[in-house]
Amino acid sequence: MIEFDGITFNELISRRIMAELAQHDPSYTELAQDQVPNRVTRFSFMSALAKLNGLPFFPRVAEFCDGSLHACCDATVMTRSYFTPLCICGQDKLIVAVANPWSPLPEEYLAPRFPDLEIVKIVTLASEINRAIESAATNSGPSRSDLDAIDVEDMDDDIRDFDVTTDYTEPMAQLIATIMSNAVKTRASDIHFKVEKESFYYAFRVDGDIGVKIEIPMKLKDRLDAFLLNLMKLPTEIRNTVPGISGRFTISYFHRPIDIRYERHRTYRGYHITMRLLDKSNINVTLGKGTLAFDDETMFALNKVMKIPAGIIVMSGPTGSGKSTTLNALLRELNRPEVNILTLENPVEDEVPGITHCDLKSPKEFKPMIASFMRSDPDIILMGEVRDIESAELAIEAAVTGHKVLTTIHTPRASQIIERFEQLGIERWKIAQTLKAACAQRLVKLLCPYCKEAIAGINDHDRKTFCLDDSWAVLPLSAAKSGGCQECRNTGYSGRTAILEIIPITPKISDMLSKGLMSPYELEVKVAEEGILPSLRRSGLRLLREGKTDLAAVSKVIDMTYTDD
């Protein structure tokens, strides 16, 4: 069966789709059904669906959506079933956009609500349907006068469920709801609130970059601070007694639960709040698809790593590089009825059926939880992060006793994982004997397909700076358009993709590392010289050569100023 953009098509329909795709492009003839999401463009796939059903295909429809038609519809139903009413044509026709032309739900749901209108379907992208629903539901939030009128002495005693798509009469609740709903809509990974000398503002991090700063009246900084603490049921007095506060709460976006991981620390002028958005409805990622659509070379290396029966597999990279997401995707691949998988995380980011997830409430719980894990007959253990000598030792102990351990650590390169364990106090021989795969990951921004510009090669200065040979001088490449377009929100980029570096620790390499016959850096150089395993640099250059990204995006996340090749 084909699964595309969250829609699963049965076997009969999947065969018809494959036949239509092959007729459209003979190169699709050899594709297996599970390869379709990665090899077929959304436009080609959706136009094939439309043709099979004798319907027109319109890739852009959100701008034509009449928001008043949504007044009698449930946004949750439409979002989950991929349809939306667009407009009334003439006097008797309701134009409805659908992403699954075979679904009878649009007619069944809309006919009673628009009894005098004939339903006429058109096919569009699932993302366009979401965009239409979101644009119809957008509110501008409280006005400046509403914010200025807030009584800063008011306090909300009890806020349990926070629905950010509901209209609130209280301006502070409406302000927070608007900020958070806009963050979800723009696919932000984080929201930052900062107090500086003469300004108080927030900003979203989207695709790895912090965007425009939006100011809030300075007098509201304490009121907003108290409101967020109240969402987590924490006393407001705590902000004056501890330097850092960690917490979490859940918001509802069109009845879609989204976890918010909250971190606040004291600053010279006030505070800095960072809220990480964990959208569990969109976190169900799969290796080889979406953000994790690795190339064949990387997928082969990853599958080989997953065959390791025991030992530590470590994923490294800076904060926000998608380490935990990739490990959770690995767990989904490893999840079998006969395998007992336990995870210890803070917080639990991705609940997978069949896997036992444990939420670490405080650092003090780590050691007793791991000790309990070891007595729970596990086959695979996921430890959220190795951050101190205690967690490092427990990971080593679990691996020595025959378990497969997956974890993350903060290092720039894969080879530095070994050095980081040594810095934490673990002897080199212990690391070498238990570490089976050292991996490093980055997320690279992708160019907007609607406005990216063609360029003729890379100039001499950049080639020298980033160690590129003369062939790059004339290679046809692409770059982000200055100012972007409406589709990419004027950034020039749209989304990110993961690239991976993998260094396997074979028994021979383990022995050489243990005896000091090879340093971690020498191992990295050896792997690079062989040119068989995926590396960050080669993967970044591949994306650049394919026109999917540009040099500015690659050099921002990978140190390109040297090469081991």
What local confidence, expressed as pLDDT, does residue 389 receive?
85
156 Cβ contact partners less than 8 Å away, ≥ 6 residues apart: 170, 172, 173, 227, 230
Residue 519 CB partners (closer than 8 Å, separation 6+): none
pLDDT at residue 133 above 50? yes
Lowest mean pLDDT among 43-52, 64-73, 114-123: 64-73
Q: Specify the long-range contacts of residues 323-327, CB closer than 8 Å, at least 24 apart.
A: 323/408, 323/441, 324/349, 324/384, 324/408, 325/283, 325/285, 325/291, 325/292, 325/349, 325/350, 325/498, 326/287, 326/292, 326/441, 326/498, 326/500, 327/382, 327/406, 327/407, 327/408
Instruction: State the pLDDT at residue 330.
Output: 87
User: Which of 42, 44, 4 is CA-nearest to residue 24?
Assistant: 44
Determine the average pLDDT of the residues in 106-135: 89
Query: What's the chain's average pLDDT?
Result: 85
Match 């971190």 to its residue by tokens. Answer: 263
Handedness of CA 506, 510, 516, 522 (dihedral sign): positive
What DSSP assignment string belongs to 234-265?
--GGGGGT-SEEEEEEEEEETTEEEEEEEEEE
Tens digits of residue pLDDT in 152-194:
655 444 445 688 888 888 889 999 999 999 998 888 989 999 9
Least-confidence region, from 243-257, 357-371, 485-499: 357-371
Q: What is the mean pLDDT of residues 325-337?
A: 86
Q: Is 147's pLDDT higher than 90? A: no
Phi and psi at 7, nearest 5°, equal -105, 130
pLDDT of res. 169: 85
Comparison of pLDDT for 193 and 30, the residue scoring more = 193
Cβ burial, residue 177 (10 Å; 0-12/13-18/19+) = buried
Stretch among 34-43, 153-162, 472-481 having the lowest mean pLDDT: 153-162
In the predicted model, what is the mean pLDDT of residues 292-318?
85
**In the predicted structure, residue 362 carries a pLDDT above the cut 80:** no
The pLDDT value given to residue 465 = 92
What's the rounded mean pLDDT across residues 470-492?
89
- % of the chain residues with pLDDT over 90: 28
Encode pLDDT of 8-20 as tens digits.
899 999 999 999 9
Q: 562, exposed or middle or buried, with CB in 10 Å at 0-12, 13-18, 19+?
A: exposed
Strand partners, 206: 209
Greater confidence, 528 or 59?
Answer: 59
Mean pLDDT of the region 444-449? 91
The alpha helices in 186-311, defined as continuous H runs, are 221-231, 296-306
Model pLDDT, residue 156: 46
Q: How far apart are alpha carbons 94 and 457 in whole angstroms? A: 50
Instruction: Tell whether the model's pLDDT for residue 295 goes beyond 80.
Output: no
- The predicted pLDDT at position 57 comes to 93
Single out the residue of 534, 545, 536 nearest to residue 447, CA to CA. 545
Average pLDDT over residues 385-406: 85
Find residue 342's DSSP bridge partners. Answer: 356, 381
| pTM as predicted | 0.71
Q: Is the peptide bond before 112 cis (omega within 30 degrees of 0)?
A: no
In this prediction, residue 545 carries a pLDDT of 92
Q: Model confidence over 517-560: pLDDT tens digits?
A: 888 888 888 888 877 778 888 899 999 999 999 999 999 998 88
pLDDT exceeds 80 at position 91:
yes
Where does the pLDDT of residue 53 fall: very low under 50, low under 70, confident under 90, or very high at 90 and above?
A: very high
Answer yes or no: is pLDDT of 287 > 80. no
> What is the residue type of 60?
R
In this predicted structure, the answer to whether residue 353 has a pLDDT above a threshold of 90 is no
In the chain, what is the greatest distance between 2 CA atoms, to the nearest angstrom?
Answer: 83
CB of 129 within 8 A of CB of 83? yes
Task: List the single range of 131-140, 273-282, 507-516 with lowest mean pLDDT.
Answer: 131-140
- Tell me the C-alpha distance between 255 and 455, whole Å: 44
Q: Considering only residues 310 and 157, tell me which one the structure prediction assigns the higher pLDDT.
A: 310
pLDDT value of residue 141:
65
Q: Which domains does the chain have, with CATH numbers?
A: 2-137 (no CATH), 144-279 (3.30.450.90), 290-445+495-536 (3.40.50.300)
